[in-house]
């Protein structure tokens, strides 16, 4: 049974009777599940999005080198890699809901404390813990929603869950544009952390995955789950996902965490760069919604491949753009295609594994991806110090995305409306 199919009624002799217990506690609907899970996703995106603007502000206030700027983004990804692996394993052992709660608490507390730091070292330590919570939450959230929704709408609902990420980035751009120049980056970080505690409160009433509850007695030791993803029948799926996750996360964090800073490098002042990134961020929403609309019609492989191809072309155009209009247009297409691809990837990943190892499989793939997230910002920082042209740097990200496309086409299987084991 799926959450979208739950009912509060019992039929006895042709009449409908509602029990007192059912009146007291109604099962959560699909839309409420999407809203509760999505709200936490929004605050996660708000933090990641605002970090890109904070890095640009810190570079001026703390006089950071490009290498130090790159390490801020990378240490966040180190935490995400650890979080995705550890909490993905825990999700199969302790349940999706419990891990969903733990990760948001870690993320919220660390994010709030990072606003109070006065040194780069302390800021980076706290950013590790922010990444730990964030990295653990994202694959677990998509797994929970995937297991709670009927096959005919599962892909669409998970992509819509991912669309909350665009809402978070949009809020980050708005806060950065209106708050950071006047009130500073500390106030901006506090504004991102405090509302996240409300999302924790909402999750208390969230039920665990029906499929996880039905398979509790089949749980295996953690080490056995890790070994199982490389069994013969899952090895091809795992290889494909690890390649795709690494290349997609490598390019995403390399490009988007540096986006405001790249705008400054191309000659725009800080406020103008924030304004341009805000406009680019608006293009993420139609990217998600179009992906959600066609993913159940044309399948996961098609949507993921086409949107990644659009990302590759847009990244190349953005890197070599030499006029404000071309920069803005290519940046909007980059946001549109890349975030649509992210939605498809989160829908696709959990569908490649059975319930007893689904959290482990999704978490390990995300963890491998976060290694790419560590390297991406460092590549930009290192090559920038050596005066390598931005166009050449973005060409590297374009090549990485093309590799991901080939992996999907030749190693991936279609999972559209597949009944999850």
The per-residue pLDDT for 175 is 87
pLDDT of amino acid 329: 92
In a domain, 3, yes or no: no
Summarize pLDDT for 260-277 with one digit per residue, the tens.
Answer: 777 777 776 666 677 777
Q: How far apart are CA 211 and CA 216, in angstroms?
A: 9
Question: Is 391 contained in some domain?
Answer: yes
The Cβ of residue 133 has, within 10 Å, a number of other Cβ atoms equal to 26
Report if residue 191 sits inside a domain.
yes
Domain that holds residue 345: 29-202+221-411
| Distance, CA of 127 to CA of 215 (rounded, Å) | 35
How far is the C-alpha of 328 from the C-alpha of 276, rounded, in Å? 7
Contact 335, 163 (CB under 8 A): no
CA neighbor of 369 nearest in space, from 240, 221, 207: 240
Please, which residues have CB within 8 angstroms of residue 291's CB and are 6 or more apart in sequence? 159, 303, 307, 340, 341, 343, 344
Predicted pLDDT of residue 272: 67
DSSP per-residue string spanning 352-400: GS-HHHHHHHHHHHHHHHHHHHHHHHHHHHHHHHTT--HHHHHHHHHHH
Confirm whether 132 is domain-assigned.
yes
Band of the pLDDT at 403, cuts 50, 70, 90?
A: very high
pLDDT digits (tens, 9 = 90+) for 303-321: 999 999 999 999 999 989 8
pLDDT (average), residues 5-28: 40
Residue 317 in 3-state DSSP?
helix
Residue 8 within any structural domain of the chain? no
51 pLDDT tier (thresholds 50, 70, 90): confident
* CATH number reported for the structural domain that contains residue 290 in this entry: 1.20.1250.20
CA–CA separation, 85 vs 195, rounded Å?
26
In a domain, 301, yes or no: yes
Average pLDDT over residues 139-143: 89
Tell me how far CA of residue 31 lies from CA of 55, 154, 240, in angstroms: 36, 12, 31
User: Higher-confidence residue: 241 or 5?
Assistant: 241
The answer to the question of residue 10 being in a domain is: no
> pLDDT of 173-201, one tens digit each?
888 888 888 898 999 888 887 766 776 77
CB atoms within 10 A of CB 298: 13
Highest mean pLDDT among 143-147, 150-154, 255-259, 354-358: 354-358
For residue 368, give Cα distances in angstroms to 80, 94, 338, 373. 10, 22, 19, 9
In the chain the first and final C-alpha atoms are separated, in Å, by 13
Considering the domain boundaries, does residue 176 fall inside one? yes
Cα torsion 238, 240, 244, 246: sign: positive
Other CB atoms closer than 10 Å to residue 63's CB: what's the count?
A: 8
Number of domains in the chain: 1
- Helix, strand, coil content of the chain in percent (nearest 5): 80, 0, 15
Alpha carbons 330 and 204: distance in angstroms, whole number: 42
**Mean of the per-residue pLDDT values of the chain:** 85
d(C-alpha 100, C-alpha 186), whole Å: 27
pLDDT for 270 equals 61
Read out DSSP for 33-82?
HHHHHHHHHHHHHHHHHHHHHHHHHHHHHTT--HHHHHHHHHHHHHHHHH
Place of tokens 């709660």: 101
The band of 18, judged by pLDDT with boundaries at 50, 70 and 90, is: very low
Q: How many residues does the chain have?
A: 421
């Amino acid at each position: 049974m799926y959450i979208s199919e739950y009912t509060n009624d019992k039929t006895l002799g042709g009449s409908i009777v509602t029990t007192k217990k059912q009146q007291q506690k109604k099962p959560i609907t699909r839309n409420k599940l999407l809203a509760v899970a999505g709200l936490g996703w929004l605050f996660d995106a708000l933090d990641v999005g605002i970090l890109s603007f904070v890095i640009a502000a810190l570079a001026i206030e703390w006089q950071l080198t490009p290498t130090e700027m790159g390490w801020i983004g990378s240490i966040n990804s180190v935490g995400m890699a650890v979080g995705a692996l550890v909490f993905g394993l825990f999700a199969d052992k302790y349940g999706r809901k419990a891990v969903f709660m733990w990760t948001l608490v870690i993320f919220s507390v660390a994010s709030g404390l990072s606003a109070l730091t006065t040194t780069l070292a302390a800021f980076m330590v706290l950013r590790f813990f922010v990444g730990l919570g964030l990295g653990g939450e994202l694959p677990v959230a998509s797994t929970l929603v995937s297991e709670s929704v009927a096959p005919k709408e599962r892909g669409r609902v998970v992509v819509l869950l991912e669309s909350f990420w665009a809402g978070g980035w949009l809020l980050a751009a708005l806060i950065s544009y209106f708050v950071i120049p006047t009130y500073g980056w500390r106030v901006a970080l506090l504004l991102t952390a405090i509302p996240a505690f409300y999302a924790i409160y909402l999750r208390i009433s969230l039920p665990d995955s029906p499929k996880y509850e039905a398979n509790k007695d089949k749980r295996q030791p953690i080490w056995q789950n890790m070994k199982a993803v490389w069994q013969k029948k899952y090895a091809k799926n795992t290889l494909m996902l690890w390649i795709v996750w690494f290349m997609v996360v490598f390019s995403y964090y390399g490009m988007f965490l540096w986006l405001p800073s790249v705008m400054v490098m191309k000659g725009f002042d800080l406020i103008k760069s924030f304004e341009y990134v805000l406009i680019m961020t608006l293009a993420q929403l139609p990217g998600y919604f179009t992906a959600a609309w066609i993913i159940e019609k044309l399948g996961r492989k098609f949507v993921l491949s086409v949107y990644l191809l659009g990302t590759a072309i847009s990244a190349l155009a953005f890197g070599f753009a030499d006029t404000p209009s071309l920069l803005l247009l290519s940046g909007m297409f980059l946001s549109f295609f890349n975030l649509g691809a992210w939605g498809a990837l989160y829908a696709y990943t959990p569908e490649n594994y059975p319930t007893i190892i689904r959290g482990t499989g999704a978490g390990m793939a995300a963890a491998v991806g976060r290694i790419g997230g560590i390297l991406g910002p460092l590549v930009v920082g290192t090559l920038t110090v050596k005066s390598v042209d931005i166009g050449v740097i973005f060409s590297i990200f374009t090549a990485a995305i093309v590799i991901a496309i080939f992996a999907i086409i030749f190693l991936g299987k279609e999972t559209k409306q597949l009944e999850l084991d």
